[in-house]
Structure 1
Amino acid sequence: MIGLAGCGRMGLPMLEALRDGGVDAMGFDVVDPGLPHVTTNIMAFAPRLETLFSVVRDENETNALLFDIQNLMGTAPNLRRILICSTLSPRYIHGLRDRIPDHITLIDAPMSGAVVAAQDRRLSFMLGGSDRDIADATPLLALMGEHFHHMGGFGAGMQAKVLNNLLAASHTAMTRLVLDWADEAGLDTQHLLNLIETSSGQNWLASGFETIEFAKHGYTPDNSIGILVKDVAAALDAAPAGADTSLPKQVQATIVQLRPRTR
């Protein structure tokens, strides 16, 4: 059985994509979404589990899933492959290899594109693992996404993802600041976004401002803006020795101060 743990904003549409593709896939979450193919009972999920997609929020939830509360290392005897799709520190990811039995294949497969891309099955995956392992996993990934970037060995996908998200965080912080300043100057938001799309300021958040689900949100620890703050922390954890981290830290602090936009 294919299992997906973490059936939230990203995970649930990924699970539906697998099932729509004819895969025998079941979801697990600690919160019941009221669907027959998603369970909150780990013992209804673990015994048949062979391949796991982990889309839980952070390192604490990953530890709970694999080693502690749900303890799939002890409750899933048939587990042979784990794809880590959460955005986590590359240092943490490398440490997983020493904690998981050698007979279980590990692939880091974080994804990008936000909820709209998950719903449209056009996610971008950044992949770390051997050529053979990535080739074996690609048919499943292709049901959920359309861009696959094999970055290198295990851990390289996550390293690429946190760097990508560091850029996304900077785009978010600066685009929101620019729009706030434009409000004060009396500029029309849509006119400015149209200009940015065809000019040197073009970026992911501005281009998707009306479709990215969190583009206008303010910061709370448990929403997508909060996840972006967590992702910057993951990048900082893997910063090169002696690197100047002042700019990423300022981006992170700016995102924490975001308030909801109404237009």
Structure 2
Amino acid sequence: MIGLAGCGRMGRPMLAALRDGGTGAIGFDVVDKGVGHIVGNVMAFAPRLETLFSVVRDAAETDALLFDKQNLIGTAPNLARIFICSTLSPHYVRDLRARIPDHITLIDAPMSGAQVAAENRALSFMLGGTSADIDDAIPLLALMGQHFHHMGDFGAGMQAKVLNNMLAASHTAMTRLVLDWADATGLDQDKLLQLIHTSSGQNWLASGFDSIEFARDGYAPDNTIGILVKDVAAALDAAPEGADQALPRTIQDTIHALKPRP
């Protein structure tokens, strides 16, 4: 059985894509979703589980899922493959290899594109693992995404993801600042975004401002803006020794201070 844990903004459309692809995948979430194929009791999920997609929020929830409260490593006897899709510290992810039995294949497969890409089956996956394991995984990942970047051994996909997300956080911080300044000077938002899309300031958030679900959000610990703050922290945790962290920390502080935009 294929299972997906963490049926939130990203996990739920990913689960729908897997099911639409004929896999019969089952979801697990600690919050009752009121849907028959998403269960909240781990013992309705673990016994037949063979392939797991972990899309939980952070390292603490990953530990709970794999080792602690849900303990799938101990309660899923048929578990043979785990995809780590959450955005986590690369150090934490690499350390998982020593904590998980050798017979279980580990692939780090964080994704990019936000909820809109998950709903459109257009995610980009950054992958870490052996070439054979990645080749075997692509048909399943292709049910959810369109772009697959094999970055290297296990952990390399996560390293690439946190760097990508640090750049996305900078785009978010600056785009929101530019729009606030534009408001103060009387510029029309839509006209400015059209200009940015075709000019040197082009970036993912500005180009997708009307379709990215969190583009106007302010910071909250449990929303996607809050996740961006966490993702910058994950990048900083894996920063090269002696690296200048001033700019990433400024970006993180700016994201943390964002207020909702009308």
Q: Report whether the alignment pairs 1:126 with 2:126.
A: yes
Q: Report whether the alignment pairs 1:70 with 2:86.
A: no
User: What letter is aligned with 2:142?
Assistant: A
Deviation at 1:257, TM superposition (A): 0.6
Specify the SS of the correspondent of 2:148.
strand
1:77-103 Cα distance to aligned partner (Å, 9 max, x none): 000000000000000001000000000
- Runs of 5+ unmatched residues, structure 1: none
CA distance in 2, matches of 1:24, 1:77: 19
CA distance in 2, matches of 1:168, 1:252: 11
- Runs of 5+ unmatched residues, structure 2: none
Q: Report whether the alignment pairs 1:208 with 2:208.
A: yes
Question: What is residue 235 of structure 2 aligned with on the other side?
Answer: 235
CA distance in 2, matches of 1:20, 1:195: 38
1:134-145 to 2 correspondences below 5 Å:
134-145=134-145
Question: What is residue 185 of structure 2 aligned with on the other side?
Answer: 185
Specify the SS of the correspondent of 2:254.
helix
Question: What is residue 21 of structure 1 aligned with on the other side?
Answer: 21
Specify the SS of the correspondent of 2:244.
coil
Specify the SS of the correspondent of 2:143.
coil
1:108-155 Cα distance to aligned partner (Å, 9 max, x none): 000000000000000000000000000111111000000000000000
Question: What is residue 148 of structure 2 aligned with on the other side?
Answer: 148
Q: Percent of aligned positions with the same letter in both sequences?
A: 77
Question: What is residue 261 of structure 2 aligned with on the other side?
Answer: 261
1:187-219 Cα distance to aligned partner (Å, 9 max, x none): 000010011001000000000000000000000
Question: What is residue 50 of structure 2 aligned with on the other side?
Answer: 50
Q: Report whether the alignment pairs 1:158 with 2:162.
A: no
Aligned residues: 262
CA distance in 2, matches of 1:170, 1:184: 21
Structure-1-length-normalised TM-score: 0.99
Deviation at 1:58, TM superposition (A): 0.2
CA distance in 2, matches of 1:224, 1:163: 17
CA distance in 2, matches of 1:255, 1:18: 33
CA distance in 2, matches of 1:99, 1:222: 28
1:9-29 Cα distance to aligned partner (Å, 9 max, x none): 000000000000000210000
User: What letter is aligned with 1:66?
Assistant: L
Specify the SS of the correspondent of 1:147.
strand
CA distance in 1, matches of 2:140, 2:32: 25
CA distance in 2, matches of 1:52, 1:194: 41
User: What letter is aligned with 1:238?
Assistant: A
1:211-263 Cα distance to aligned partner (Å, 9 max, x none): 0000000000100000000000000000000000000000000001100110x
CA distance in 2, matches of 1:192, 1:18: 38
Coordinate RMSD, CA, aligned? 0.4
Specify the SS of the correspondent of 2:53.
strand
CA distance in 2, matches of 1:189, 1:24: 44
Specify the SS of the correspondent of 1:149.
strand
Specify the SS of the correspondent of 2:135.
helix
Structure-2-length-normalised TM-score: 1.00
1:37-87 Cα distance to aligned partner (Å, 9 max, x none): 000000000000000000000000000000000000110000000000000
CA distance in 2, matches of 1:203, 1:169: 11
Specify the SS of the correspondent of 2:149.
strand
Question: What is residue 12 of structure 2 aligned with on the other side?
Answer: 12
